[in-house]
Amino acid sequence: MQINLDFRNSTCFILLITCLIYCVAVEAQPVDKSATKETSKLYNNLQLLAQRGTLFGHQDDMAYGVNWKYQHGRSDVRDITGQYPGVFGWELGGLENDALVNLDGVPFDSMKTYIRKAYEAGAVITISWHLNNPLTGKSAWDPSPTNTIPSILPGGEKNELFNTWLDKVGSFLQGLQSKNGTPIPVIFRPYHELNGSWFWWGGKNCTPIELIDLWKYTVAYLRDTKQIHQLLYAFNTDRFSSEAEYVERYPGNDWVDVIGFDIYQKGDILANDKFIAELDKSLSLLTKISTEKNKIPALTEFGFNTIPDAHWWTSVFLKAIKNHSIVYALAWRNAGLKADNEIEYFAPYKGHLSAGDFLLFSKQKKIFFEKRTKRLKLYQ
């Protein structure tokens, strides 16, 4: 049968344009053109997911929670909702120094097990890296001196040391494999909150060009030198007030797959309306930038420590995000009572005053926890 398309006919023209747009979307690729099949599928499926809903994520979810650690099958999120999150966040800080546990006390060997389990269940993995200051040997929160980045790039006194750190990160990432040996895709999120001045790689501690050079060097080293092809690269700031501020340190479309920002509510419930307004505005800016640059938009960290509002999930957080197309939102960790007697948790636990509201939040049509995430078949 022969089909004749008369492109003077507006219907035929619209059909052609629609087909072309669809083909471009399907053919979209991550910045690693040699990405594994599963990584490319994840990238494309996350691009398409933006209009459907938001995956809920939680940092260190399976490792510990409020008043418990390392109990098989345990999760504060699961205790309330009956299911795990759709996104799992993990941390590599400490790996560069050959530590057996990360800076939050999670054993790296256990982390691999948790990541494999989450991947087999169809969930998304994202990993951050609070690496020490390579110039001083102190923590990521040591911002001085301000010439750290030049010291670790080619020609710098700490370049060789920094390369060994990247080698260790690369080896860990390459070791993330499924039971049948498939490399597990990871959204890798180094140098986060890069417009703030509390880390040695951010804000006033380096110039925008220095940060951009560091970003490109890191991606090129892992992708091209180490030949690691299971990564999507996430760029994220902290709070920001304008598009110009957000893109000041953006390394370019050829170096980034996911864009996002971190935001935490401060103070008490009297700040709810202010937080809603700020988050709403920031998400509007982020989705505008993501559309312009064809990148995956995400809320890379969020939370309200101890969640002192019984209805915060549906009356504050959901209200702020419901009109925006963000692919995932990652709540920070549930450390509970820490060694310094500070209490820290950003998702509720069973019996918490917001647990009922959190359960209601998990049932929202456009919010995806474990079960609905699995049905998306993001790696296929």
pLDDT at 170: 98
pLDDT in tens, 95-104: 999 999 999 9
Q: For residue 144, name the pLDDT band (cuts at 50, 70, 90).
A: confident
Task: Give me the CATH code for the 32-376 domain, please.
Answer: 3.20.20.80
pLDDT at 114: 98
How wide is the angle at C-alpha 256 spanned by C-alphas 252 and 261, nearest 5°? 100
83-90 mean pLDDT: 98
pLDDT in tens, 203-229: 999 999 999 999 999 999 999 999 999
pLDDT at 346: 98
pLDDT above 70 covers a percentage of the chain that reads 93
Amino acid found at 278: E
CA distances from 325 to 26, 54, 292, 329, 367 (A): 19, 7, 14, 11, 11
- For residue 8, pLDDT over 80 is answered with no
Distance CA 104, CA 289 (A): 33
**pTM for this structure?**
0.93
DSSP character string of 224-292 = IIS---SEEEEEEESS-SSHHHHHTT---GGG-SEEEEEEE--S-GGGHHHHHHHHHHHHHHHHHHHHH
pLDDT at 27: 55
57-74 mean pLDDT: 97
- For residue 339, pLDDT over 60 is answered with yes
**If we measure between CA atoms, which residue out of 223, 208, 297 comes closest to residue 254?**
223
pLDDT at 51: 85
3-state class (DSSP) for residue 160 = helix
130-149 mean pLDDT: 94
pLDDT at 120: 97
296-312 mean pLDDT: 98
- For residue 145, pLDDT over 90 is answered with no
226-253 mean pLDDT: 98
